């Protein structure tokens, strides 16, 4: 997906992907799966997601990555957070308020030194934002950035590709397995019909839409 596409979406306020409430799958499964020590969480392609505030309010330090400076500014402003801005290398800017930090820049140009220590990953809107041809690249970058393979809550969508040209794009279960194993053990936590709750996608011609949540945990060393 060309970065200009996402810049234009934010500039024109075409942000139907933004949820006005915390994702219920995050609320349901995160407390069951994540280490109670509350590790620092990475949220790729985070937009201005309220899920990050939910994670912070549960005691996590949060590192988000977002391409659009409009989304980053909106996040801090809409949540009443005063923030410090620091230019970094590799074309990135860090905007930070306490334990909430957003790296503004291209995900594919992130480097481990920019990331710092990460103990868990939450992906609700990143993998599904990638066309199928870019999903391998996305997953490969994640594995390179986090070679210790911290646990991940991954939320995907499945639908008939011929019925709609995303985003969001479909990510079949077999694709999740192909992208993230053997680095991870993959557990399907939930699969539900999500078409009724997404009338804008139904209007685009979808006949069915399945939302799935996975828990990815690093394979044990041998």
Asked if residue 10 belongs to a known ligand binding site, the reply is yes
d(CA 29, CA 215): 9
Per the CB < 8 A criterion, the answer to whether 147 and 183 are in contact is: no
Asked if residue 110 belongs to a known ligand binding site, the reply is no
DSSP alpha helix (H) spans, 44-165: 51-57, 69-78, 112-115, 132-145
d(CA 177, CA 139): 11
DSSP 135-147: HHHHHHHHHHH-T
Asked if residue 6 belongs to a known ligand binding site, the reply is no
Q: Which two tokens stand for residue 120?
A: 């868990």
Asked if residue 124 belongs to a known ligand binding site, the reply is yes
Q: Cite the annotated binding site by residue number.
A: 10, 45, 66, 124
What residues form the annotated binding site for S-adenosyl-L-methionine?
Answer: 10, 45, 66, 124
């Amino acid at each position: 997906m060309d970065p200009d596409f996402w810049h234009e979406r934010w500039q024109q306020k075409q942000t139907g992907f933004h949820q006005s409430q915390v994702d219920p799958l995050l609320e349901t499964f995160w407390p069951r799966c994540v280490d109670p020590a509350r590790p620092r969480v990475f949220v790729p392609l985070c937009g201005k997601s309220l899920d990050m505030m939910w994670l912070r309010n549960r005691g996590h330090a949060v590192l988000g990555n977002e391409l659009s400076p409009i989304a980053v500014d909106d996040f801090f402003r809409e949540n009443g957070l005063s923030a410090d801005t620091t230019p970094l290398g590799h074309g990135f800017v860090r905007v930070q308020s306490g334990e909430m930090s957003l790296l503004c820049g291209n995900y594919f140009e992130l480097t481990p030194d920019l990331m710092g220590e990460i103990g868990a990953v939450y992906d609700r809107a990143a993998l599904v934002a990638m066309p199928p041809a870019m999903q391998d690249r996305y997953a490969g970058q994640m594995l390179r950035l986090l070679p210790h393979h911290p646990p991940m809550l991954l939320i995907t969508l499945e639908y008939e590709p011929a019925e709609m040209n995303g985003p969001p794009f479909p990510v079949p279960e077999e694709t999740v397995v192909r992208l993230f194993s053997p680095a991870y053990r993959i557990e399907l936590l939930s699969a539900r019909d999500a078409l009724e709750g997404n009338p804008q996608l139904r209007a685009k011609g979808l006949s069915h839409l399945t939302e799935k949540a996975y828990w990815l945990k690093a394979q044990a060393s041998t």
